[in-house]
Amino acid sequence: MPQIPVTTRLDQDRPLVKVDYQVVPQPAAGQNLSFTVPVGYRFQLISAFLTIVADANVADRFLFLQINGPSGAIFRYQAAVAIVAADTRYATIAANVANIPLSAAITHAQISIPPALVLEEGTSFTIGLVGIQVGDQFSALIGQLLSQFVAE
pLDDT in tens, 15-40: 555 777 778 899 999 999 999 988 88
Length of the chain: 152
Mean pLDDT of 86-92: 94
CB 52 within 8 A of CB 127: no
Domain residue ranges of the chain, discontinuous segments joined by +: 39-147
The residues that bridge with 9 in the sheet, in sequence order, are 16
In percent, the amount of the chain with pLDDT more than 90 equals 51
- Per-residue confidence at 3, pLDDT binned at 50, 70, 90? very low
Does the pLDDT value for residue 6 go beyond 70?
Answer: no
- Per-residue confidence at 14, pLDDT binned at 50, 70, 90? low
- Per-residue confidence at 151, pLDDT binned at 50, 70, 90? low
Does the pLDDT value for residue 66 go beyond 90?
Answer: yes
Give the whole-angstrom CA distance, residue 80 versus residue 64.
Answer: 10
- Per-residue confidence at 2, pLDDT binned at 50, 70, 90? very low
Give the whole-angstrom CA distance, residue 146 versus residue 10.
Answer: 11
Give the pTM.
0.83
For residues 80 and 138, which has the higher predicted lDDT (pLDDT)? 138
